[in-house]
C-alpha cells in the first residue's frame, strides 16, 4: 500500500513541446514505479489565469476537479467545471485547460500507461 498526500511531493513544472507552461505544476501521486502498471494518478495545480494550451495525444484523460474552476476544451466543445466534477477527455482530441476561477485550480488527471 502506498499512501501519499500532494503536499508531500515536490511539484514539477509542466512542459509542452519542450517549453515550460507558466503557472502550472504536476505531481505524480501514483505511478508505475509504485507498482501501478496500468494507469497513473497525477495532481495538477494551475495559478489564476494559467493555461495548459491545446495539445493532442493518443491517450485519454480522466479528470476530477478538486478545487477552483476550469474551462476545458475538447475539439469544438468547451465546458466550465467546478469542484466535484469528473471529465472524460477522449483520446486523439485536441484539448486544453484554463483556470478561470479567482484562486488556484486543483485537479486530478489520470492517464493509461498503454493507451493509444
> Which residue from 116, 89, 114 is spatially nearest to 38, judged by alpha carbons?
114
Q: Which residues of 32-69 are buried (b: 16+ CB within 10 A; e: fewer)?
A: eeeeeeebbbbbbbbeeebbbeeeeeeebbebbbbebb
Q: Strands 105-112 and 61-67: what pairing?
A: antiparallel
> To the nearest whole angstrom, how small is the minimum distance from the Cβ of residue 78 to a copy of itself?
9
Q: Which of 51, 93, 94, 96 binds a copy of itself (CB under 8 A)?
A: 93
> To the nearest whole angstrom, how small is the minimum distance from the Cβ of residue 55 to a copy of itself?
15
> To the nearest whole angstrom, how small is the minimum distance from the Cβ of residue 57 to a copy of itself?
14
Which positions from 33 through 52 interact with a copy of itself, judged by CB under 8 A?
Answer: 34-39, 41, 43
R_g (Cα) of the chain, nearest Å: 14
> To the nearest whole angstrom, how small is the minimum distance from the Cβ of residue 19 to a copy of itself?
25
User: What character string, x for contact with a copy of itself (CB under 8 A) and - otherwise, covers 59-88?
Assistant: xx-x-x-x-----x-xx-x-x-x--xxxxx
- Asked if 94 and 55 touch (Cβ cutoff 8 Å), the reply is yes
Q: Strands 39-46 and 105-112: what pairing?
A: antiparallel
Which residues contact a copy of itself by CB under 8 A? 1-6, 29-30, 34-39, 41, 43, 59-60, 62, 64, 66, 72, 74-75, 77, 79, 81, 84-91, 93, 95, 108, 110, 112, 114-115
Amino acid at each position: 500500500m502506498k499512501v501519499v498526500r500532494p503536499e508531500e511531493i515536490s511539484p514539477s513544472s509542466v512542459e509542452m513541446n519542450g517549453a515550460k507552461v507558466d503557472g502550472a505544476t504536476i505531481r505524480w501521486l501514483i505511478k508505475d514505479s509504485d507498482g501501478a502498471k496500468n494507469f497513473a494518478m497525477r495532481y495538477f495545480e494551475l495559478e489564476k489565469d494559467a493555461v495548459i494550451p491545446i495539445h493532442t495525444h493518443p491517450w485519454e484523460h480522466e479528470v476530477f476537479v478538486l478545487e477552483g474552476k476550469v474551462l476545458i476544451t475538447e475539439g469544438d466543445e468547451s465546458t466550465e467545471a467546478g469542484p466535484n466534477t469528473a471529465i472524460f477527455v477522449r483520446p486523439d482530441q485536441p484539448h486544453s485547460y484554463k483556470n478561470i476561477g479567482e484562486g488556484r485550480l486543483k485537479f486530478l488527471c489520470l492517464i493509461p500507461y498503454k493507451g493509444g
